[in-house]
Structure formats: C-alpha cells, structure tokens
Amino acid sequence: MEEMKPAPVKPAIDIGVVNQVDARVGTIESVCEVEGSTRLVRLEVDFGDHKRTILAGMKQEREDPTEIEGRQALFIVNLEPRKMMGITSQGMLFDVGYEDGLLPALLTPERPVPNGARAG
C-alpha cells in the first residue's frame, strides 16, 4: 500500500447537506473510450430501474479501463447532467485516492447488492 499523510479533516457540515447526496450502487456494464479525450471514458451503468451514461476521468489511471466492466461501484446520481466532449454525463463515479495523489480505487460493496441500492 502506498504511504500518504492524510489531509486535514474538512470543516463540519450539517447532516442535512449529507442527506442531499444520492449515492447508489450500480453495475458497470461497459467502458469505452471518449474520442478526442486523453482522460475520459464512457461508462454505461445499470441502476436496476434505469441505465445511465457516466463519464469518468480514469483513462490514464488504468492500463485497461475495461477491467472494471461487470463490477459494482458507488455513484452520485443526483448531480446536474454535465456535457463533456459532446456527451452528457448523468452522475459521478465515487472512488478514493485521486485527491491524495494515489492510484484511485473504486468504492465497492463488500458483497453483491441490488443495483440502485442507496448508500447511507
């Protein structure tokens, strides 16, 4: 494991702010390159009752980004849609490590859970 000094804890927030975030488990069905981007990949994610396209800046973080196909991960699903490289991203992959200069790792449930299950 890489050594790092943890960043200081951010200032306290009200629990109401946390309750506004809708984090859900989804299964990554496919990963494909985004033409013209050096960072982005396009994830097609199954959330049980619907599927979404989510762009993630992981192209340079993994030798083969398709290795995460079929894996469950945690996503933020109530962000405003954002258009990047001509594609609308409908959420955000929630991973750990990037902000600390580490190789990012997916946040995954310890055992399979139904797609769409909420965190919290």
- pLDDT by residue (tens digit) across 12-22? 999 999 999 99
Q: pTM for the complete prediction?
A: 0.91
117 part of a folded domain: no
Q: Is the distance from CB of 87 to CB of 33 less than 8 angstroms?
A: no
111 part of a folded domain: no
Q: E strands of 66-114, at which residues?
A: 72-76, 82-84, 87-89, 92-93, 95-96, 105-106
116 part of a folded domain: no
Q: What confidence category does residue 94 fall into, taking pLDDT thresholds of 50, 70 and 90?
A: very high
What CATH number did the domain enclosing 102 receive? Answer: 2.40.50.140
1: pLDDT strictly greater than 90: no
120 part of a folded domain: no
60: pLDDT strictly greater than 90: no
Tell me how many domains the chain contains.
1
112 part of a folded domain: no
Q: What confidence category does residue 106 fall into, taking pLDDT thresholds of 50, 70 and 90?
A: very high
3 part of a folded domain: no
Q: Which helix (H) or strand (E) segment is 16 a member of?
A: helix 15-20
Domain of 28, in residue numbers? 18-106
89 part of a folded domain: yes
47 part of a folded domain: yes
